[in-house]
Amino acid sequence: MYTFILGIILLVLGYVFYSKIIYKNFGVEPNRETPATVLEDGTDFVPMEKQRNWLIQLLNIAGTGPIFGPIMGALYGPVAFLWIVLGSIFAGAVHDYYLGMISLRNNGAHLPELASKYLGRIMKHIVNLFTALLLLLVGTVFVTSPASLLAGLTPGFMDRRFWVLLIFIYYFLSTILPIDTLIGKIYPYFGALLILTSLGVGITLFATGNITNIPELTLQNMHPNDVPIIPGLFFTISCGALSGFHATQSPIISRTLKNESEGRWVFYGAMITEGIIAMLWAAAAIALFDGQTLSQIISEGTASAAVSEITFTLLGTIGGTIGILGVIVLPITSGDTAFRSLRMVIADYIKLTQAKLSNRFMITIPIFAISIALMFIDFNILWRYFTWANQVTAVIALFVSTAYLFLKSRNYFFTLIPGTFMLYLVILYLLTEPIGFNLPMTISYYVSAALALGILLLFFRHVRLLKSGLTSESALINDQLSIREIYPESIL
């Protein structure tokens, strides 16, 4: 109980104090014009208010990850709280803030363009592949999970296939329409539902006394049932602590911010809020179920079954139904912007302006055709590949941020430390998991360390050479990436 409460307090304090350090280290210029005002196009570059940007960012990054992940992470016991809190403050929120602000300084460029600029042109093609794969997987898996939950609440004729079709139609419209036409208008209602649901779960935990069922974190329960936390925990809980998917979402909002000073609240603040949401759902799962029961519920119906059990147990029939709707909001509001981000990333890559509706159709239709085809692949297989690709993307984003800070002669350890930690883990995961090489863990510990060290040395060799060749007029120093580098035929 006290571990959970302390975790919530630390998340709030992390925003109040640590985010200020991160903010100052970046070198914010409140009087500098932003892409939203300079490049306004009525579609993606649209100035919006600070609170609306925060809400859209929160809903964009908070898919089923900060609920499903922590519920499955509850199988590890209270150590899940430790990763959520430390991951959110020192890794996830830092990742989201710096990538969002670097994108803002580069005319809202997405991760592949930023990787090309700061890590080398060859990285542009690699990161484009990873980013496209990640967004496609996110959009696809975030169709199936809300469709399953909705089918459980509605009459028989409104089955899973009915909701899949309806969600795909909404995703298609939100992908091609201007951001303030659909997403900007309905998100405030979605946001209210999400926040009320999460608060309801938290308040009811205390009101019913179930909060006392949560054990404290000790050295003895760090590995419940002898389950190793490395690397599994860091991939089971990603969106509630550190997630590369967020690196694909922050550039959307970097194109709508009206002032650089708003980035701390919008990027860092949204991630801390997501961390609190993750804590609440992890606490509910730990409080209501023992490890064996929770494992059985998840294995029989995935984490969505556990969500249903938690909401109806804590909130009753009516409250549980509203709670399920609040959970459904999360994947839908990440799936829609996943496809939107994918359209923008592909447009950046092939240099196709998106002001014309026909150009948006040209990219969007093939995306959805591929996504529909992926629907026939087993969800659990898709999810395993998603979790790995997700954290690889986080590593790339953290190293882009590290290169940026290094070139700007600012403290780059804020991003280097979590980036190096996750680099080691993504290599270890690939070596040991069945989706990778399935090697013994003992050998993989050392091989992963050697490979991570080699990549780290190559990275610093690259950025040092890059910095040694810079002049005072260099675009790398002056944060200049012309919109014509992204869209040569732009009319802007």
What does the DSSP assignment read for 287-332?
A: HH--HHHHHHHHHHHHHHHHHHHHHHHHHHHHHHHHHHHHHHHHHH
pLDDT at 193: 76
Give the count of beta carbons closer than 10 Å to the beta carbon of residue 30.
8
- Name the band, by pLDDT with cuts 50, 70 and 90, for residue 470: confident
The percentage of residues in the chain with a pLDDT greater than 70, rounded to a whole number, is: 91
Q: How far apart are CA 227 and CA 275, in angstroms?
A: 23
Contact 132, 346 (CB under 8 A): yes
- For 5, 139, 238, the CA distances from 221, given in Å and listed in that order, are 18, 36, 21
Rg, Å, the chain Cα set: 22
- The pLDDT of 221-250, averaged and rounded, is 84
Q: How many helices (H) and strands (E) does the chain have?
A: 22, 0
Question: Has residue 67 got a pLDDT over 80?
Answer: no
Q: How high is the mean pLDDT of the chain?
A: 86
Give the model's pLDDT for residue 269.
97
Measure the CA dihedral 136/148/181/269, to 10°.
Answer: -80
- pLDDT-derived band of residue 485, with 50, 70 and 90 as boundaries? very low
Q: Across 232-246, 299-313, 371-385, which has the greatest mean pLDDT?
A: 232-246
Alpha-carbon gap, residue 360 to 344, rounded angstroms:
9
419-463 pLDDT, tens digit per residue, is 999 999 999 999 998 878 899 999 999 999 999 999 999 999 999
Question: What is the structure's pLDDT at 41?
Answer: 86
CATH classification for the domain delimited by 2-394, as one of 3.40.50.300, 1.20.1740.10, 2.60.40.10, 1.10.3720.10: 1.20.1740.10
Q: What is the mean pLDDT of residues 220-224?
A: 70
Whether 71 and 279 have beta carbons less than 8 Å apart is answered as no
Has residue 224 got a pLDDT over 70? no
Contacts of 29 (CB under 8 A, 6+ apart): 260
The Cα 364–Cα 42 span in angstroms is: 18
Q: What is the DSSP string of 184-231?
A: HHHHHHHHHHHHHHHHHHHHHHHHTTGGGGSPPP-STTSSGGG---TT
Residue 211 pLDDT exceeds 70: yes
- Which residues have C-beta within 8 Å of that of residue 83, sequence separation ≥ 6? 73, 229, 233, 234, 237, 241
**What confidence score (pLDDT) does residue 63 get?**
62
76-85, 308-317, 320-329, 330-339: least confident range: 320-329
The two structure tokens encoding residue 220: 């003895």
pLDDT category of residue 85 using cuts at 50, 70 and 90: very high
| pLDDT level of residue 488 (50, 70, 90 thresholds) | very low
Looking up tokens 């600070």, which residue turns up?
50
Task: With cut-offs at 50, 70 and 90, classify the pLDDT of residue 190.
Answer: confident
Dihedral sign, Cα of residue 116, residue 121, residue 127, residue 132:
positive
- pLDDT of 168 reads 93
Contact 149, 308 (CB under 8 A): yes
Q: pTM here?
A: 0.87
pLDDT band (50, 70, 90) for residue 492? very low
Residue 341: CA atoms inside 13 Å, Cβ hemisphere, count? 34
List of residues 6+ apart from 362 with CB closer than 8 A: 352
Q: Which pLDDT score, from 0 to 100, does residue 300 have?
A: 62
List the alpha helices (DSSP H) in 240-290.
Answer: 245-254, 263, 269-288
- Total count of residues recorded for the chain: 492
335-346 mean pLDDT: 88
Burial class (CB in 10 A: 0-12, 13-18, 19+), 98: buried
Q: Cis peptide leading into 231, omega within 30 of 0? A: yes
> How far is the C-alpha of 306 from the C-alpha of 168, rounded, in Å?
25
Q: C-alpha dihedral over 263, 268, 274, 279, to 10 degrees? A: -160
The predicted model gives 157-166 an average pLDDT of 90
Contacts of residue 478, Cβ cutoff 8 Å, sequence gap at least 6: none
Scanning 413-440, the segments in alpha helix (DSSP H) are 413-432
Domains of the chain: which residue ranges? 2-394
